[in-house]
Structure 1
Amino acid sequence: MIKIGVLGAGGRMGQAIIAEVQAAADTWLAGGVERAQHPLVGREIGEGQVVGANAAPLARKADVLIDFSTPDALDEHLRAAEEARTAILVGTTGLLPAHHARLDRAAQQIPVLQAANTSLGVTLLAALVEQAARALDAKWDIEIAELHHRHKVDAPSGTALYLGEAAARGRGAPLESLRLPAHCGHSGVRRAGGIGFASLRGGSAAGEHKVIFATEGERLEFAHVAEGRELFAHGAVTAARWLAGQKPGRYQMADMLGLQAQASLVRQAGNLTGP
């Protein structure tokens, strides 16, 4: 039985993860944490567990923490996980370079899996996008379009940037050097080899992403549509099961699915030459 603690228990994703943990036969809800002012603090969330405002006690009870809270809470949550030697999965979006540096430091002591998107389908999509970008040259323009609900504050979404990074890896350059400015007004001629983004916000859309490879006379499109938050919760809990048995280090969803190893083998095979 894997004991899972949920950080950001009052949010939409936190609630979905709690339901997923409670429904599974091999996981047990160790508890939940929210910011001190949240109305859920002090209330039961099932199995006699009360939502607290301090991550440290929960980290000591859990095998894995799943964090879908806010970037400004990350340092406190990582510190609690480090002190308890508890693995942590971070699904919080909007992270800055300083947050990633902090995750790297934590990964020296505990297993850390950071994911812009915990969907198993999106993880596979990113691998396909990277492969396509590696195979197709700069004459193929890359555009990434995403649609989310009206309450989402970061744009482009973390998933869109994740897909952009996959495309940039395929092109052998950092995303910062390939990312195009927003197409607005008189934007001029599109730079060859660049990666563009378009963000839409409205309604209750859980998340839709499309990666478009377009060249003269043809177009290739990869798409993923999330029909509810349950799929992200399922992916997060699936990854938490896997993470509980790992050594300290920095992991991705692709590691859990074995996609990193497969990609390495594909690249090695592509570099082989015959006798």
Structure 2
Amino acid sequence: MTDVIIMGAKGRMGATLANLALADPELNLVGVTERSRNIKELEALGCPVVEDLDNLLADAPGAVIVDFTSPESTMKMVETAGRRGNPAVIGTTGLDAAQQKQLAESANSQPLFWAPNMSVGVNVLLKMLPMLVQALGPAYDMEMVETHHRMKKDAPSGTALKLAQCLAEARGWEYDDVKNHCRDGIIGARPEEEIGVQTLRGGDVVGDHTMFFFGPGERIEVTHRAHSRETFAQGALRAAKWLAGQKPGKLYTMQDLF
């Protein structure tokens, strides 16, 4: 049985993770974190509920932390977990380049797993898209539209960025050199080396990503739609079980898990 700790258990993903962990016979929910004003609402989970992660880790050596919070909170968690030697599975999006570099460095001394999207379908797409890009060739323009619920704070989504980076790499491009996240006004003709990623926000959409391949006389669309947060939560808890048996030395991803 794997001991797990859920960060931000009152949030959308945190609540899903906590409930799924309780229902999984292979997991032992040994604690959750949440802001002090929400702690009483989580007492029904039947495990310690605290604001300070360090207080939990003192009594939970080796427990795997699962974190889908915010970049700032996640980086603080990694530092705290590093002092205790606890593994951590991270699904937080919106991490900047410096924070991603820090994660990779921290992974040399503690087991860390990070994936902006933990669904099986998206990660299969990441394997298949390069073959599609290379088979179609340079005559096809590549664009993407991503849609999420109105409360999502980062844009484009971490999944959209990962998918777009995959497309760029398949063409031999540096993504930062060809990305276009916003078009407005008289912008002129579309450059040949460009990937547009447009963002929609509204309602309670869990997550939709559509990649367009515009070619001469035809268009190909590849769409992934997440119908439930449980898709991501189940992937994260599967990663937690796997990470419990791993050693430090690299920043693990879904590709390592598969």
**Same fold by TM-score greater than 0.5:** yes
Q: CA deviation at 1:229?
A: 0.9
Distance 1:45 1:255 in 2: 35
Q: CA-to-partner distance for each residue in 1:132-152, whole Å, 9 max, x for gaps? A: 223333221111111111111
Distance 1:43 1:20 in 2: 15
Q: CA deviation at 1:27?
A: 0.7
| Contact 1:43/1:50 (<8 A) preserved | no
Question: In the alignment, which residue of structure 1 is the partner of 2:17?
Answer: 17
Question: In the alignment, which residue of structure 2 is the partner of 1:251?
Answer: 252
Question: Closer, same or farther in 2 for the Cα pair 1:137/1:193, shift >3 Å?
Answer: farther
Query: Gaps spanning 5+ residues in structure 2: where?
Result: none
Question: In the alignment, which residue of structure 1 is the partner of 2:135?
Answer: 135
Q: CA-to-partner distance for each residue in 1:49-103, whole Å, 9 max, x for gaps? A: 1311111233351531111111111232011211221111111111111211220
Number of corresponding residues: 255
RMSD: 1.7
Question: In the alignment, which residue of structure 2 is the partner of 1:155?
Answer: 155
| Contact 2:156/2:181 (<8 A) preserved | no
Alignment TM-score, normalising by the size of structure 1 = 0.87
Out of 10-19 and 92-101, give the one that drifted further. 92-101
Q: CA-to-partner distance for each residue in 1:244-275, whole Å, 9 max, x for gaps? A: 11121211112211xxxxxxxxxxxxxxxxxx
Distance 1:133 1:111 in 2: 34
Letter in 1 for 2:112: V
Q: CA-to-partner distance for each residue in 1:159-218, whole Å, 9 max, x for gaps? A: 111111111121222210121252223221111131111111111111111111111112
Letter in 1 for 2:56: L
Question: In the alignment, which residue of structure 1 is the partner of 2:73?
Answer: 73
Letter in 1 for 2:38: P
Distance 1:14 1:173 in 2: 36
Distance 1:226 1:131 in 2: 23
Question: In the alignment, which residue of structure 1 is the partner of 2:103?
Answer: 103
Letter in 2 for 1:44: E
Distance 2:31 2:44 in 1: 8
Distance 1:42 1:207 in 2: 28
Q: CA-to-partner distance for each residue in 1:208-247, whole Å, 9 max, x for gaps? A: 1111111111222221111111111111111111111112
Distance 2:37 2:253 in 1: 30
Where do residues 1-275 of structure 1 align in structure 2 (5 Å cutoff)?
Answer: 1-35=1-35, 37-40=36-39, 43-46=42-45, 48-60=46-58, 61=60, 62-248=62-248, 249-257=250-258
Alignment TM-score, normalising by the size of structure 2 = 0.93
Distance 1:41 1:251 in 2: 35
What SS is found at the alignment partner of 2:3? strand
Distance 2:44 2:88 in 1: 20
Distance 1:225 1:42 in 2: 31
Q: CA deviation at 1:42?
A: 8.0
Runs of 4+ in 1 over 6 A off after TM superposition: none
Query: Gaps spanning 5+ residues in structure 1: where?
Result: 258-275
Distance 1:144 1:203 in 2: 20
Distance 2:33 2:27 in 1: 18
What SS is found at the alignment partner of 2:189? coil
